[in-house]
Amino acid sequence: MIDNKKASKTNNQKKQKSITEILFTAYSFILFTLGILVVFFTKEFDVISLEGDKGEIAYIYAQFIGSFELLASFLMFSLRKLKGRVIYYSVVGLITTGFINLYLLSSLSDYIILPSVYFIFQIIVLVSFIVALIEQVKRR
């Protein structure tokens, strides 16, 4: 009887992580790293060096974006183990935000030259969150 209880405890401890949990953890670490770089090393991390007052204002905006990335990383890390409707809403919100970011990147590319890495990364993120949403729907 005691051996059965130990066996069931070890089976529960070795539970496989879901794709959603893995993606949320990976993206939270990526966003945390990018947020730290943008907030504290704005001028070194920036692709285009700007000068004057308008450049300083642009750097402050970049730091706001970096602080948002830090907040988003903590949010994603805290949501990684949730289940049910909360995780559905979170993933759908991230997909919606991803499409908005893709639209903003395409409209920004009309004014400045953006590397295709931005677009490729955003598309990879969108596809991975769509896969996570499909996985969560199948688990239901």
Give me the helices (H) in 1-140, please: 2-13, 19-40, 42-45, 52-79, 85-108, 116-139
pTM: 0.67
Q: Which two tokens stand for residue 47?
A: 């692709």
pLDDT in tens, the chain (140 residues): 555 555 555 555 567 778 888 888 999 999 999 889 888 888 777 666 667 777 777 777 778 788 888 888 888 888 888 777 787 888 888 888 888 888 877 877 776 666 677 788 888 888 988 888 888 888 77
Q: Where are the domains of the chain?
A: 18-81, 82-140
CB 132, CB 91: distance < 8 Å: yes
pLDDT in tens, 17-45: 788 888 889 999 999 998 898 888 887 77
